[in-house]
Chain A
C-alpha cells in the first residue's frame, strides 16, 4: 500500500504508525538516533565481552607464566601479557565483569534509595527540610576519602566500593527526584486527581512516580559511568578491589610501574574504561533529550 503523505493521514493511521509512549517505541526511537545507537551498541559490546569472558578468553586470567611476562600484543596474546606473565586479554575481559558490576550495582542502589528519599522529600514539606539538610551533610563528605576510610576499616571488596561510591551520590539523585516532584505536584493533573478524591499515596504512585522516572534513568546512566571511573581510581590508589581480582582499575594500578616498557598494560584497560564511560554518557545524553518532551520533536 502506498503510504499517504503525513498531513493526509487520519489520527488513527498516524497513531497506528507511531504509538508513542510505549517501551517499544522508545527503543525504536533510540535506535534511530545515531548518538544513542552508537552508545548502546558500544555498551552491548562491552557488556557482552564481560559476560562471555570465560568463553572469549582462552587463557586463565590468574595463571602466572613468568617466562611469558611483558609480552607486547601478538597473535598468541591479543593484548599482550603483564609483568607476571598473565594474559591481559583474559584479565581485561574478566576485569570488565567486576567493573561493570560495580557500575550497575551502584547505579541501581543509588536510584532506588534516591528515588524513595526524593519522593518523600518532594511530597512532604516537613520531611523535606530534615532530609535535605542531611543530604547537604552527606554531600560535604569527599567521596574518595570516604572510600579510602571504608576500605581501611571494613576491607576492600565489591560491597565496600559500591557503598563508598553510592553514599556520596545518593544526595545527587535525591535532589534530582525532589526537584522533579516539586514541579510535578503543581501540575494540573495532580490537582485534578485531588479533585477526584484520590488519596495522597495513590497520587504519589500513580501520577508522580511514573513521571519522575525519565530523569532518574538518565541520572542512573551517569552514575553508572561515574562509578566505573571511581572504582578505577580507588583500585589504582589501592583502596579498591583487592589486587588478586582483576578489575580495570587494578590492572592499571599493577601496570603503572611498567608504563615505559609495557604501556599496553595501562592503555588497554584505560581504553575500556574510557569507552564504557563514553558509551554511558552518550546514551544518557540521548535518553535525556528523548525523554524531555520539549526536545523530543527534534529527534
Chain B
C-alpha cells in the first residue's frame, strides 16, 4: 500500500443527521477514514449502523429534506465533497467516484436496453458520440464477463438474470474508469453461488483498473478474503479499524467479537460449535446517545461504559478500537 502518500478519499469527523418529525438524529456520528489509491476497505456492521448513510453522504445523494451532513469533511482530490455545489458533484459522480447499489433487480431502467444504459454514462461524462459510446458499452460488458456482449447489449434488463444484471451495474459504474468505487452490499440480493463470482469480479477489476474500493457489507465472511482493511461501525460510529488479518486474528471490540462469533465455519477458540448471536438489536436512532452505544448489549459492560463514550485509541499498529476495556480483554 502507498500508505505514505496522500489518501485519495479522506472522511474527517463526518456527521450526518436524519430528520424525523421535528427532531434530528445522527445516522453517521463523527466517522473518519482514509482511503489510498488502489486500496480496498470494508465497512462492516449490522443493518441500521449507518453504513449506507455514510456512502450516500460521500456521494452527495442524501435526500435533502430527510438527511444532511451537519459537520465534517469529505475530501476527494483536495475538494470537500460535503460543500461542493450539486453541479460540480454531478461531474464527479459516475466519473471519479462510482457506486454499486444492492438491488440489481431494480437499479436498471426497465425500458432501456442495457447497452444503452452503459453508453449513457459514457456519453454524459466523456461526451463520446453515440456510436463510440455504444462500442465502449460493449467493451465494458465484455470486461464484466458477460458472454456474447454485442447481442446482450441490445437486451432489456428483464431478459437478464440477477447475476447478469449486477454485472451490468458494475459495467455502468466502471464505464468511466472511476478512481473510487463504493459497493453497497453488492452481493446481498444474489444467490450464494453468484455472490462469489460477483465478488471475484469486483476484486479482479479493482486490481486491473487500480481503483480504490469501499465495500459495504454486513457479512464478515465476504470481507475475510477480499479487502485489506476493515472498519466496524456500530450505531453510526466507527468502533474498530484494523487490517483484515489482524481483525480476524485478534478482534478487540466486544461487538466485533460478537460479529465474528456469529459466523459459521470458523473454528472458535473456546471450542464450541454453536453459533453465538449478539443479543438485542442496534439501538434506534432516537435512543439516548450516552456512553458507549454498545453497552446495553455488551457482556463486558461496566458502569463507566454507560456514562462515558470511549474514544478510538490504538491497541497495536494500525489497529484502533473504541472500548474502555479493550486493553484488559484483548486477546482473551
Contacts and interface: CB of A to CB of B under 8 A. Distances in A.
A and B: bona fide binding partners: yes
B284 interface: no
B124 A191 contact: no
B111 A20 contact: no
A167 B26 CA distance: 49
Contacts of A299: none
Given A20-B156, A188-B101, A192-B101, A197 B93 contact: yes
Interface of A: 11-12, 15, 19-21, 187-189, 191-199, 202, 206-207, 210-211, 293
A195 B112 contact: no
B93 A194 contact: yes
A187 B98 contact: no
B159 A11 contact: yes
Given A195-B94, A196-B93, A206 B101 contact: no
Contacts, number: 81
B107 A188 contact: yes
Given A195-B59, A196-B98, 12 more contacts: A11-B159, A15-B159, A187-B106, A188-B101, A189-B106, A189-B108, A189-B109, A194-B61, A195-B93, A195-B94, A197-B121, A211-B111
A141 B107 CA distance: 42
A290 to B, nearest CB: 14
Given A192-B101, A211-B111, A198 B106 contact: no
Interface in B113-152: 120-121, 124-125, 148, 151
B111 A210 contact: yes
Nearest to A211: B111
Given A20-B158, A189-B106, A189-B107, A196 B61 contact: no
Nearest to A190: B109
A198 B101 contact: no
B61 A207 contact: no
A191 B94 CA distance: 12
A19 B152 CA distance: 12
Contacts of A187: 106
B94 A196 contact: yes
B110 interface: yes
A202 B131 CA distance: 19
B169 interface: yes
A199 B120 CA distance: 12
Interface of B: 59, 61, 89-95, 98-99, 101, 103, 106-112, 120-121, 124-125, 148, 151, 155-156, 158-159, 161, 169, 172-173
Contact of A198 (B94, B111, B155): B94
A195 B101 contact: yes
Contact of B107 (A21, A192, A199, A293): A192
Contact of A191 (B91, B101, B112, B121): B101
Contacts of A12: 148, 151
B44 to A, nearest CB: 22
Contacts of A197: 89-95, 121, 124-125
A191 B108 CA distance: 10
25 contacts: A11-B161, A15-B159, A20-B156, A20-B158, A191-B107, A192-B107, A194-B61, A195-B59, A195-B94, A195-B101, A196-B94, A196-B172, A196-B173, A197-B92, A197-B95, A197-B124, A197-B125, A198-B90, A198-B124, A206-B120, A207-B109, A210-B109, A210-B112, A211-B109, A293-B110
Sorted nearest first, the 7 A-B pairs with minimum C-beta distance are: A196-B94, A197-B93, A197-B94, A188-B106, A197-B90, A192-B107, A210-B111
Contacts of A206: 109, 112, 120
Nearest to A187: B106
A210 B90 CA distance: 23
A21 B151 CA distance: 15
A192 B169 contact: yes
Contacts of B124: 196-199, 202
Nearest to A184: B109
Contacts of B98: 195-196
Contacts of A11: 159, 161
A217 B193 CA distance: 42
A21 B109 CA distance: 12
B94 to A, nearest CB: 3
A116 B111 CA distance: 20
B41 to A, nearest CB: 19
B108 A196 contact: no
A207 B110 CA distance: 9
A197 B84 CA distance: 14
Contact of A21 (B103, B111, B120): B111
A189 B107 CA distance: 4
Contacts of B90: 197-199
A195 B120 CA distance: 13
Nearest to B109: A189
A177 to B, nearest CB: 16
A13 to B, nearest CB: 12
